[in-house]
Amino acid sequence: MDRESARDRIEKLSALIREHDYRYYVLDDPEWSDAEYDRHFRELEKLESAFPEWMSQDSPTQRVSGTARNDLAPVRHDDPLLSLEKVVEASEFEAFDRRVRERLGREQSDPIAYVGEPKYDGLAVSLLYEEGVLTRGATRGDGLTGEDVTANVRTIRSIPLRIRGSHWPRRLEVRGEIYLPKEAFRALNQVIEKEGGRPFVNARNAAAGSLRQLDPRVASARPLAFFAYGVGRPFQANLPECHSELLERLREGGFPVTREYRRLIGVGPCLAYFRGLLERRNELPFEADGAVFKVDEVREQEQLGSVARAPRWAVAFKFPSEEVTTVVEAIEFQIGRTGTLTPVARVAPVFAGGARIAHATLHNMDEIARKDIRVGDTVSLRRAGDVIPEIIRVLSRQDSGRGPSVDWPRSCPVCGAPVEQVPDEATIRCSGGLHCPAQRKESLRHFSSRAALDIQGLGEKLIGQLVDTGLVKTPADLYRLDVARLIALERMGPQSAANLVAAIEQSKQTTLARFLYALGIREVGQVTARLLAESMGSLEALLGAQEDELLTIEGIGPVIGHAVWVFFNDPGNRQVIDRLREAGVQWPNVELISDAVPGRFAGALFVLTGKLATVTREEAETFLREAGGRIGQSVTRKTSYVIVGENPGHKLDDARRLGVPTVSETELLEWMSKPGLP
């Protein structure tokens, strides 16, 4: 084929494939079979490799591009991604409608036109199109700054690399939700479990993990999907005057838009829509956790504006959380990374919200005593969204065979070492240290977790096997594993073994902050790890630092400073660190942070949980507010930090689940004692 005909054919094939994707993903009405698609796709690939000069950046073959990275770059959103006010009762929704009408000066008899949409339980993304071409994809982050996930977004086939049609603004930001369809979620977890990995708790976590994948090739193997629900800067020329029309325009532009949205006039139809959606919730092919109602007229939206981080023209009406009944089979103790014991109830397995539940957190001993939960009791259990299930109350108690009231064990249920009281805390710790297999497993889990060295595929079961067979004692041992040793393990095939070895290899390229966090130093969470990295600049500096030198870092006080110093001066720890570095774990140089920033918590949103021992809650809140921070009541994805006191409640679970950094009282006190960055 000559150059000119190759060019024509490449253009033709690209257009045909784009059209197929549009028909398949947006119209849900494909004309080609899979085989036909593959045939065209392969022909295009062949031609492009013979005539690379004719391959365009947005060619359908170029969805997977770029290589794995260490971290995702931050992206500042021009127009912040807002969150939504939430309601859970019809009366609250009616109050929302009243406020809207008052602000717009509308009579009772003059109802508002709303659009009702499902509230997708996925991740908000912003897709930037310049001159019609997708140039950037970013996560929502805290609404102001997200992460650059362009390479992964490009692999999502329902997201057009080029907008269809013309008359679009030259710079258009399409917003929507990336999610994993229920079916794909189930299939993905099956594969993970078969390979001995730790399955995702729910579709949203799976979608988040996949989107924030550092390797676009892995992301491309996860069938993520997308629904568009809006645009950035909606009040601009060339865009429709109603939200409902905007959704139709977006669909014409090649974006998947739900068929579930409705234009609804007044409160009554909105409530009916909500009930209808709730009834069909389980039949929907995607997870939804409520409905979103938006004022349809863009002019009215503009008039209403927004408060804080939420628009006044939209509201999320959440589905009630699902409650189920089951029986407590046992009360067990889980041993954390630092040895602390947490009571958990093993229950007769039940399904709630599409997930099988076999355990429920009991939070702490006080909680068990207060609710008087014992083995044999019939309890009602709640799983709100993807929160760790918890027991709400005991429904009925067996007259005979009711277990004794629960007390702390005297020795560690895993290693048998005596337990010790944690000074000033209502908790108990196993004294076995890293000799305790449970602590060993937890510290390996922490080391390989997503926020730490992010070793893909190293799940709980596998860690259990590695520790139990004695193959791995410290994180450094991971780097000596090879395929031969791994395939000796039960249920481990050559392919999985090779994948794991590759993932371990990949984890060697990290950042100093991640590395410090991964070490699991007491008192050092993600925030402090970053602070240490950015103020000391290198591991050598940290290893050589004296305790008082650490204390000169703004935000590090005596307790953290001491814990860090002790950790780095322990010969065992130093040996593990040396071995990790010898194995090739490395990071790029760190940019040192400059000195104190005014209003150091400007824009940060804090949530407090548990009882603070040394300051009052008011004192803590005043301090945070005066430094520019805000205080929230519940933990959401926009929470910047959760301050954790004694006997923390479910907010701590929420923080862990959402990956919100937690701050101990000690860390807080240190912030309070010194000026500077957190």
Angle between helices 558-568 and 665-673 (to 10 degrees): 120
Least CB distance to ligand IVH at residue 85 (A):
8
| Residue 120 engages ligand IVH in binding (rule: CB under 6 A) | yes
| Residue 139 engages ligand IVH in binding (rule: CB under 6 A) | no
| Residue 314 engages ligand IVH in binding (rule: CB under 6 A) | yes
Compare residues 82 and 444 and give the one whose CB is closer to ligand IVH: 82
Q: Compute CA 389 distance to the chain's CA centroid, rounded to the nearest angstrom.
A: 18
* Residue 192 burial (C-beta neighbours within 10 Å; 0-12, 13-18, 19+): middle
Scanning 146-154, 308-316, 400-408, 460-468 for contacts with ligand IVH by CB under 6 A, the matching segment is: 308-316
Residues 6+ apart with CB under 8 A from 281: 288, 319
Site residues for ligand IVH, 42-101, by CB under 6 A, read 82-84
Least CB distance to ligand IVH at residue 220 (A):
22
Compare residues 208 and 476 and give the one whose CB is closer to ligand IVH: 208
Least CB distance to ligand IVH at residue 315 (A):
9
Amino acid type, 360: A
Helix (H, G, I), strand (E, B) or coil at 163: coil
Compare residues 200 and 286 and give the one whose CB is closer to ligand IVH: 286
How many residues in the shown chain lie near ligand IVH by CB under 6 A? 15
Scanning 117-125, 356-364, 401-409, 560-568 for contacts with ligand IVH by CB under 6 A, the matching segment is: 117-125
| DSSP character string of 15-47 | HHHHHHHIIIIIIS---S-HHHHHHHHHHHHHH
Compare residues 60 and 116 and give the one whose CB is closer to ligand IVH: 116
Least CB distance to ligand IVH at residue 287 (A):
10
Q: Which residue in the set 20, 40, 63, 119 belongs to the binding site for ligand IVH (CB under 6 A)? A: 119
Scanning 205-213, 311-319, 356-364, 392-400 for contacts with ligand IVH by CB under 6 A, the matching segment is: 311-319
Compare residues 97 and 454 and give the one whose CB is closer to ligand IVH: 97
Least CB distance to ligand IVH at residue 105 (A):
22
Please identify which of the residues 119, 318, 638, 651 carries the catalytic annotation. 119
Q: Which residue in the set 26, 149, 151, 292 belongs to the binding site for ligand IVH (CB under 6 A)? A: 292
651 is catalytic: no
**Tokens of residue 333, six digits:** 């103790």
* Residue 191 burial (C-beta neighbours within 10 Å; 0-12, 13-18, 19+): exposed
Least CB distance to ligand IVH at residue 141 (A):
10
Helix (H) or strand (E) holding 295: strand 288-295
> Please, what sign has the CA dihedral across residues 204, 206, 207, 212?
positive
Residues 6+ apart with CB under 8 A from 128: 134, 135, 136, 137, 138, 171, 172, 173
Amino acid type, 545: A
Q: Which residue in the set 21, 48, 142, 177 belongs to the binding site for ligand IVH (CB under 6 A)? A: 177
CB atoms within 10 A of CB 527: 20
Nearest-angstrom CA–CA distance, 79 and 232: 6
Least CB distance to ligand IVH at residue 140 (A):
6
For residues 8-46, one letter each, b for 16 or more C-beta atoms within 10 angstroms of the residue's C-beta and e for the rest, the string is: ebbeebbebbbebbbebbbeeebebeeeebeebbeebee
Q: Which residue in the set 140, 243, 429, 651 belongs to the binding site for ligand IVH (CB under 6 A)? A: 140
Nearest-angstrom CA–CA distance, 77 and 163: 21
Residues that are catalytic: 119
Query: What does the binding site for ligand IVH look like in residue numbers (CB under 6 A)?
Result: 82-84, 117, 119-120, 124, 140, 177, 229-230, 292, 311, 314, 316
